C-alpha cells in the first residue's frame, strides 16, 4: 500500500522504538488495508483503526500478544482471521459499523464486544461462549430471535439489542446477576417479561408490546414509550429505587395503581396516552417532572410538594383543585390548550414560578394574587377571552414579566 507522507511519518514514530509503543492511533487515515508495519510493535496494547476502509486483518495479528484493545469501527470488514482468538489478553473488540454476518472467534479474555450496525440475523454461537464478556453491543443488526443460550453470558452488565427485528426473547434475564443496563428499543416485541434483581436501566421503547411484566428491585429508569400497553397488561413490581418512568404513547386510560409505591420517583412521562384521570397520582413526595400532555384529563387534583416542571398542554382541564396549588416548588407550568375559565387566588403559592403558559383557554380574568409571583419571567395568555382592561391590569401587576396576549 502507498502511504501518504504524513501517514508514513506517523507510522514511523511508532516503529522507531517498537518495544516502547503501547498505543497506536490511526483513525480516519484513509487506510485501505491493515497497517502490517505495526505488527513489529510486539508490546502494543491499544490499536485504534476506526473510520478507514479496511476489509480484514492479517493472520499475523497473533503476534500482538499484549494487545488489550482493538478498535475497527467504521470499516468494511466482512470477516476476521481465526487467529484473533489467539490474542489472549484482548479485552475490548470494536467491530461496529462493518459488514460482518458471522462471528466464530474464541477470545478467552474478552470483556467488551461491539458488533453494532452489521449484518447479523442471529446471535452467533461463539459469542455465547465468551464467559468473561461484560458489555455486548448488538444494536442495528437483523436479529429476530434471542435464544436462551445468551444466558451463558452470566457476567454481562450491559446488553444493547436496540434497532433489530426481535419478535421473541427466550429468557426473562433472571440468571444475569450482574446485568445493569438492558436496551431493547425499536424492535417488534409484543410480549416482554423481566425478572432481575440487579437491573438498573431498562429501555423497551418503540416495540409492539401488549403485555409487559417487570420485576426488578433495583431498577432506576424504565422506558416503555410507543407501545400498545393498557393499564391491565402492564405490571411493574413495587420498588423504592425507581427514579424515571416513561410510558408515553400507550393507550393507558389510567396510571398503574403501583405508581404510588414508587416513593423515589423523580420524573414521570405519560403524555400522548388516553388518560382520563390521575387518581393514582398522589403519594409521590419526590416527583419533580411530570408530563401529561395530550390526554383527556378534566381536572388536576394532586399534591406533589417537590414538583418543579409540569406539562399538561392539550387536555380538557376545566378545574385546578386546591391540592394542585400546594405545589409550592413549581417553576415551569404549561397548561396550553385546555378549558380553564378561572385561576384561583391560591396561585399566590407559586412563589418559585418562572414560566406559565395559559394560552388557548377560556380565561377572562386573572386574580390580583398574581402580583405575588415575583420570579415569573414569562406569561403566555394568547387565545383567551381577556378584555383590554384586564390585560392592562395584568401588565401593571407584573411589570417585570414578559407577557404575551
Provide the residue ranges of all domains of the chain, joining segments of one domain with +. 315-405
- The whole-number pLDDT of residue 2 equals 59
Check if the beta carbon of residue 207 is closer than 8 Å to that of residue 188.
Answer: yes
CA 129/CA 345 separation, integer angstroms: 67
Residue 70: CB atoms within 10 Å: 23
Q: How far apart are the first and last CA of the chain?
A: 69
- The whole-number pLDDT of residue 7 equals 82
CA 318/CA 284 separation, integer angstroms: 24
Compute the Cα dihedral for 132, 135, 141, 142 and give only its sign. Answer: positive
Residue 57 CA: distances (Å) to CA of 18, 27, 77, 148, 225: 20, 15, 9, 32, 42
Total-model pTM? 0.93
- The CA radius of gyration of the chain, in Å to the nearest whole number, is 28
CATH architecture for segment(s) 315-405: Alpha-Beta Horseshoe (3.80)
Segments in the chain below pLDDT 70: 1-3
Of 320, 365, 357, 367, whose CA–CA distance to 335 is shortest? 357
Check if the beta carbon of residue 315 is closer than 8 Å to that of residue 338.
Answer: yes
Residue 80 CA: distances (Å) to CA of 54, 110, 376: 11, 16, 62
- The whole-number pLDDT of residue 69 equals 98
Residue 344: CB atoms within 10 Å: 15
**Count of residues for the chain?**
405
Compute the Cα dihedral for 89, 92, 97, 102 and give only its sign. Answer: positive
- The whole-number pLDDT of residue 133 equals 98
What's the DSSP call for residue 294?
Answer: S
CA 102/CA 124 separation, integer angstroms: 7
CA 325/CA 323 separation, integer angstroms: 5
117-150 pLDDT tens trace: 999 999 999 999 999 999 999 999 999 999 999 9
- The whole-number pLDDT of residue 162 equals 98
SS3 at position 144: coil
Task: Name the phi and psi angles at 37, rounded to 5.
Answer: -55, -30
Amino acid at each position: 500500500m502507498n502511504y501518504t507522507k504524513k501517514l508514513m511519518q506517523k507510522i514511523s514514530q511508532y516503529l522507531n522504538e517498537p518495544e516502547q509503543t503501547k498505543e497506536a492511533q490511526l483513525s480516519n487515515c484513509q487506510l485501505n488495508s491493515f497497517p502490517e508495519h505495526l505488527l513489529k510493535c510486539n508490546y502494543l496494547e491499544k490499536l485504534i483503526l476506526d473510520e478507514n476502509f479496511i476489509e480484514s486483518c492479517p493472520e499475523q495479528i497473533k503476534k500482538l500478544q499484549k494487545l488489550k484493545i482493538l478498535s475497527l469501527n467504521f470499516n468494511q470488514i466482512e470477516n476476521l482471521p481465526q487467529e484473533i482468538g489467539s490474542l489472549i489478553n484482548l479485552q475490548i473488540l470494536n467491530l461496529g459499523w462493518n459488514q460482518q454476518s458471522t462471528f466464530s472467534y474464541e477470545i478467552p479474555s474478552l470483556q467488551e464486544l461491539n458488533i453494532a450496525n452489521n449484518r447479523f440475523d442471529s446471535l452467533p454461537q461463539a459469542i455465547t461462549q465468551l464467559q468473561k464478556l461484560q458489555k455486548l453491543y448488538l444494536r442495528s443488526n437483523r436479529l429476530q430471535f434471542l435464544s436462551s443460550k445468551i444466558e451463558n453470558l452470566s457476567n454481562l452488565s450491559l446488553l444493547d439489542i436496540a434497532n433489530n427485528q426481535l419478535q421473541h426473547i427466550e429468557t426473562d434475564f433472571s440468571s444475569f446477576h450482574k446485568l445493569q443496563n438492558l436496551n431493547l428499543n425499536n424492535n417488534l416485541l409484543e410480549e416482554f417479561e423481566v425478572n432481575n434483581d440487579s437491573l438498573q436501566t431498562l429501555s423497551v421503547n418503540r416495540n409492539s408490546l401488549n403485555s409487559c411484566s417487570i420485576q426488578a428491585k433495583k431498577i432506576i429508569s424504565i422506558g416503555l414509550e410507543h407501545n400498545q400497553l393498557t393499564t391491565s397488561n402492564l405490571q411493574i413490581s413495587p420498588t423504592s429505587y425507581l427514579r424515571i418512568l416513561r410510558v408515553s404513547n400507550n393507550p393507558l386510560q389510567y396510571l398503574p395503581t403501583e405508581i404510588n409505591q414508587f416513593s423515589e420517583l423523580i420524573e414521570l412521562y405519560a403524555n400522548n396516552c388516553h388518560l382520563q384521570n390521575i387518581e393514582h397520582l398522589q403519594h409521590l413526595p419526590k416527583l419533580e417532572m411530570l408530563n401529561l400532555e395530550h390526554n383527556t384529563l378534566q381536572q388536576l387534583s394532586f399534591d406533589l410538594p417537590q414538583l418543579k416542571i409540569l406539562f399538561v398542554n392539550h387536555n380538557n382541564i376545566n378545574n385546578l383543585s386546591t391540592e394542585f396549588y400546594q405545589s409550592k416548588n413549581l417553576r415551569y407550568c404549561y397548561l396550553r390548550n385546555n378549558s380553564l375559565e378561572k385561576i384561583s387566588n391560591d396561585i399566590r403559592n407559586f412563589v418559585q414560578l418562572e414560566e406559565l403558559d395559559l394560552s388557548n383557554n377560556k380565561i377572562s380574568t386573572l386574580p390580583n394574587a398574581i402580583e405575588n409571583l415575583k420570579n415569573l419571567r414569562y406569561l403566555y395568555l394568547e387565545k383567551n377571552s381577556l378584555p383590554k382592561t384586564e390585560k392592562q391590569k395584568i401588565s401593571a401587576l407584573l411589570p417585570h414579566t414578559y407577557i404575551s396576549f
